[in-house]
Amino acid sequence: MCLGDGHDGIWNLFAQLDSQVQRLEILDWYHLIENLGNVGGSHQRLDAVEACLCQGDVEGAIKQFDDWPHERVDRFIAYLAKHRRRIVNYAYYLRRAAIEFVKGQTSSYLTRYRDWQAGIRNRRDAKPPVFNVDAGCYPALYKGQLVKFDNDLLVACIKVWNGSDWVWAEVPIASKRKRHLTGAIKSPYLVISEKHCHLAVPFSIIPPTWKSDVVCAVDVGINTLATASIVCPDGTLLARKFIHPASDIDRRDKQANIIRQKARKTKTLHRGFAKTPYRKAKGINANIAQQVSRQIINLPWSMEPARLSLKI
């Protein structure tokens, strides 16, 4: 399956593929609708043409312009004739994509329910899993067509329907992170909830390259909290350190056991429930994280001075 816009260069690249391989060329839907919007005219006619194109009915779309001879109409009809074999039943593929998404959600629910029936539970009295209909499937806003960002990432322009026309609406960007300034912006998702909506903007970041080939690899395990290793490119192990603050973990688990015992004695967990054990467990966790991080950082510096070119 080859998806492309109306540029001839894209289709020329697809034409270089092996002719013996069966391929399906599809014209990008958003590019098709963008060209339809350039025709202008009555919104009622444009909606009818869009409905025909969504079903892959090119002839029906052309018939909608029989009573309106215009230069822009002629260009659009020539555009449809050029890409006639690439205009498919888009509604079918959209339905199939939606079905596959729902199929994945249903399969996940059934797997969790079978595990619950088989007794694979976190607690013996655990309730059966609930099928979540709010699966978080959000529309993608294609960059340049439906969303644009300024150079300083201060304002985002989103194409919206104001009731009579598609217009660009400026929305200020409330917050951004360092990766937003260094990476390449990809097409974001419009995440909508009951209270607000926001843009989830993915970025393509090239990982930094270090001058030294010696690396410090940290493996977070189950029986051992962390294992830090200094490894050369050829696999030579220069140093290894097992980090497992058992006494601190026992102290934290003791506080967690106190919380569980208190929870068994009440049906409702009020605000401030088991405040002291929670505070102690949080403090122990913070101390474990600080001590483990310090030991990992100190490991490379314990090496010989000639090997201090290591970066973590």
Q: What sections of 152-215 are H helices per DSSP?
A: 178-182
- The pLDDT assigned to 209 comes to 65
pLDDT digits (tens, 9 = 90+) for 228-278: 888 887 778 888 889 988 899 899 999 999 999 888 888 788 888 889 999
Q: How far is CA 281 from the centre of its chain?
A: 33
Using 70 as the pLDDT threshold, list the residues of the chain that sit under it.
18-21, 207-212, 303-312
Contacts (Cβ under 8 Å, ≥6 apart) of 203? 179, 180, 183, 184, 185, 186
- The pLDDT assigned to 312 comes to 41
- The pLDDT assigned to 40 comes to 84
- The pLDDT assigned to 183 comes to 74
- The pLDDT assigned to 305 comes to 44
> Residue 192: in which H helix or E strand, if any?
strand 189-192
- The pLDDT assigned to 74 comes to 92
- The pLDDT assigned to 304 comes to 56
User: Distance between CA atoms of 107 and 70, rounded to whole angstroms?
Assistant: 52
- The pLDDT assigned to 21 comes to 61
Query: What is the CB neighbour count within 10 angstroms for residue 154?
Result: 11
Q: Which two tokens stand for residue 238?
A: 């220069």
- The pLDDT assigned to 309 comes to 43
